[in-house]
Amino acid sequence: MKGTKGRRRFLDYPRQGREGPRRWLPSWRQWLGVLSLCVLGLFGLFAVVYAKIDVPDENELARKQATVYHWSDGSEMVSVGAVNRQNVTLDKVPDSVENSVIAAENATFYSDSGVSFKGIGRALVSVVSGGETQGGSTITQQYVKNTYLSQDQTVTRKVREFIIALKVSNQQSKHEILRGYLNTSWFGRDSYGIEAAAHAYYGIDAEKLNPSQGALLAAVLKGSEQYDPGLSKANHERAEARWKWILDRQVATGKMSKEERAKYRTFPEPRKISKPTSQAGQTGYLIDVANKFIKARTGLTDKDLMRGGYHIHTTFDKERTRRLEKAVTDVRRTEIDAKHRKADAFVQFGAASVRPKDGAIVALYGGPDATRHFSNNADTSAVPAGSAFKPFVLAAALQQEAYETGETDEVDETEESDDADGSTAEPEAGERTVAENLGKALMLGQSPPFVQAGKEVGLEQIRALAVDAGLRKESMAQLEQTFPLGTSAPSAIRMASAYTTFANDGLHYEPYAVSELTYDGKKVSGLGRPEAEQVLDAGVARQVSDALRIVGWRSLSAEGGPSATTPIAAGRTEPGDRMKSAWFIGSPSAAEPDFGSGSGAKYGRGSRPGRAPGAGAGDGNEPTTAVTMFRNKPGTPALLPMQGVGGAKSKLGTTLPPKVWQAYQQGS
């Protein structure tokens, strides 16, 4: 157009004088302009956000409301909190403790800007990509996280953390930041801050901590669930290695001389873990199981739960828990006499009740008192199952036989003919299948057939079935010849859960301890329960239940227990087991035991006609309960022998778990 030729446009785009793709490629000036505008926009946005975000109140943590645990009926079980924390000034914290913390967490603390751009970038990438939360924060950033209290791991939270850390660095001295960090950090053992931690681990004030003790507390800052040496042997090994590294690190950074370092060669063992009096009796054990369930499914930690604000609705039935505790206490009082029988020393009981219809853990007994006996006997994986494991071998044999014959559901019961004298004729031994031999051996308390079954059925198949039924793979023993005899060490919770599979027509529900979790009134996700799985053929499950019912009936009636009209399904360890434990697993049943005459019980390959699905579990509300007994001396990893426990008539103590079970069922 006339008069416009040669006039420069404000924005030369598409670019004049260029042809083809080059006409659409921005010039370097345009790229620079766009980049400058973006940078200015980000600075402007940063300035606005920086102005709006305030530094949180350091004492907000101490004022946080408690976490409340509820019984299954909604009533309050216990309120945990408020936060165990006592603020101290830095003049009450030894220099050696400060040096340990700085060496462990942020060696450049006194020279950095308070934020780690590299760490922030790594964390943001991890959050956006859905990965795990990354470490690498400075002490200032960790102090901000401690006081801000946000539980979520989002880009927004990381940005707020970054900005608050910058503000804190500008507004507070390094001395004040370190004081705040030491007063708000989580050290485990229900303790926030160095003062509470000093008392929890060593029973002293923080100002009395020596360099070695300070290094251990600095090690715990990395995560008490992994580094508190009192929790497990693995924890102890990790804690000791990190303790050594922190002391050596101080030498490397010039904060400790080699001569002083040489004084600390012995690991500073902390005191035993203790619980507050509010968690006495069974309460501490119930909380322990509920917390484990939550942590496994939501990613929350003990630190998160102890900050407060949660309402945890458990599956634990108040009355059943009381009855189970009373049953154990009564049997212990009448049968165990540690003052006059040496063999009765260090006897421990554990028990758990699981509801067949959905897997809810309705009661447990973890020990005499959670404030004195910290280890949870209901959830320990250190007690061999003995003959209580044999039903899984029987189930594996029956399942294999069902697949081979094509009888994978209801089949006709094998009838046995009666002789003229009224006795029941049995097939020749050579004519019996492996499963039939095992069924008879289970009821007679024989072990050799189970060793043979391990060879014929396969140890891997037996283990796989036991795990599918509910036992944890990590509790399984090595696959050796004695594996079918119960060398594995499942917990009472898992044994009760697995036995519900037999009573539930082969249907297995994963055990659960928490029905609902809320935080500040909002439901926390992640607690949805998986669908039930059909892990065992229904007919096979019923056959195992039938055999167990007879075993259990005989076990209880032999000890003056229920009459022949009291139906149960149960499993037990045998007096002949070369084990250091005794078990009894039982659940009330809707069917009566069916006996043949003579020493052998009637045992067929099919399911009993007329039994409705799930009949072994009644209406599904009556729980299956596992009771275990063993001897464990504190500080000694191996279990003690059971010979003589409960006196000569107790048969290595194997008569006592059935008595606990019976007292629990009849309790009031």
* Listed residues 261, 296, 313: the one ending a domain: 261
Q: Which of 117-131, 261-275, 540-554 has the lowest mean pLDDT?
A: 117-131
Given a cut of 80, whether residue 39 has pLDDT beyond it is no
| Residue 500 belongs to domain spanning | 354-414+427-666
The pLDDT of residue 420: 34
3-state secondary structure of 424: strand
CATH number of the domain enclosing 88: 1.10.3810.10
Higher per-residue confidence, 164 vs 46: 164
Given a cut of 60, whether residue 506 has pLDDT beyond it is yes
Higher per-residue confidence, 440 vs 354: 354
The overall average pLDDT reported for the chain is 80
Residue 411 CA: distances (Å) to CA of 432, 437, 465, 533: 17, 19, 21, 22
The pLDDT of residue 283: 95
The pLDDT of residue 417: 33
DSSP structural state of residue 419: P
CATH number of the domain enclosing 604: 3.40.710.10
The pLDDT of residue 502: 92
The pLDDT of residue 559: 54
Given a cut of 90, whether residue 492 has pLDDT beyond it is yes
Q: Which of 70-84, 288-302, 323-337 has the lowest mean pLDDT?
A: 70-84
385 and 490 Cβ atoms separated by less than 8 Å: yes
Q: Which of 283-292, 322-331, 372-381, 422-431 has the lowest mean pLDDT?
A: 422-431
The residue behind tokens 């001389």 is 257
3-state secondary structure of 196: helix
Angle in degrees, CA 475, 480, 486, rounded to 5? 50
580 and 630 Cβ atoms separated by less than 8 Å: yes
- Do 391 and 248 lie in one domain? The reply is no
- Where in 139-198 does DSSP place strands (E)? 186-188, 191-192
**Residue 117: inside a domain, yes or no?**
yes
Question: Residue 55: which pLDDT band, with cuts at 50, 70 and 90?
Answer: low
The pLDDT of residue 88: 87
Residues 171, 175, 180, 181, CA torsion sign:
positive
**Residue 51: inside a domain, yes or no?**
no
- Do 235 and 367 lie in one domain? The reply is no
Question: Residue 6: which pLDDT band, with cuts at 50, 70 and 90?
Answer: low
**Residue 501: inside a domain, yes or no?**
yes
Question: Counting Cβ atoms within 10 Å, is residue 493 exposed (0-12), middle (13-18) or buried (19+)?
Answer: buried
Stretch 50-72: mean pLDDT: 70
Stretch 226-241: mean pLDDT: 94
Q: From CA 629, how far away is CA 350, in angstroms rounded?
A: 6
* Listed residues 242, 261, 280: the one ending a domain: 261
The pLDDT of residue 191: 86
Percent of the chain topping pLDDT 90: 47
The pLDDT tens digits for 450-482 are 999 999 999 999 999 999 999 999 999 999 999
Token pair for 541: 């499950």
- Do 227 and 367 lie in one domain? The reply is no
- Do 95 and 235 lie in one domain? The reply is yes
Q: Which of 135-144, 244-253, 285-294, 598-607 has the lowest mean pLDDT?
A: 598-607
Q: From CA 641, how far away is CA 650, in angstroms rounded?
A: 14
The pLDDT of residue 575: 56
Q: Which residues pair with 569 in a beta bridge?
A: 587
Question: Counting Cβ atoms within 10 Å, is residue 521 exposed (0-12), middle (13-18) or buried (19+)?
Answer: exposed
The pLDDT of residue 594: 41
**Residue 238: inside a domain, yes or no?**
yes
Stretch 5-23: mean pLDDT: 63
Q: From CA 127, how far away is CA 139, in angstroms rounded?
A: 20
Number of domains in the chain: 2
Q: From CA 302, how far away is CA 201, in angstroms rounded?
A: 17
Given a cut of 90, whether residue 28 has pLDDT beyond it is no
The pLDDT tens digits for 601-658 are 333 333 333 333 333 445 668 899 999 999 998 878 789 988 889 888 777 778 899 9
Residue 537 CA: distances (Å) to CA of 69, 199, 256, 498, 551: 38, 55, 67, 14, 21
* Listed residues 261, 280, 306: the one ending a domain: 261
The pLDDT of residue 13: 63
- Do 404 and 523 lie in one domain? The reply is yes
**Residue 102: inside a domain, yes or no?**
yes
- Do 359 and 245 lie in one domain? The reply is no
Question: Residue 67: which pLDDT band, with cuts at 50, 70 and 90?
Answer: confident
Q: From CA 573, how far away is CA 389, in angstroms rounded?
A: 8
Token pair for 275: 């619980």
Q: Which residues contact 414 (CB under 8 A, 6 or more apart)?
A: 604, 605, 606
Q: Which residues pair with 314 in a beta bridge?
A: 514
The pLDDT of residue 668: 58
Residues 40, 45, 48, 51, CA torsion sign:
negative
**Residue 103: inside a domain, yes or no?**
yes
**Residue 583: inside a domain, yes or no?**
yes
Higher per-residue confidence, 589 vs 111: 111
| Predicted structure pTM score | 0.76
* b/e 431-441 (16+ beta carbons within 10 angstroms → b): ebbbbbbbbbb
**Residue 307: inside a domain, yes or no?**
no
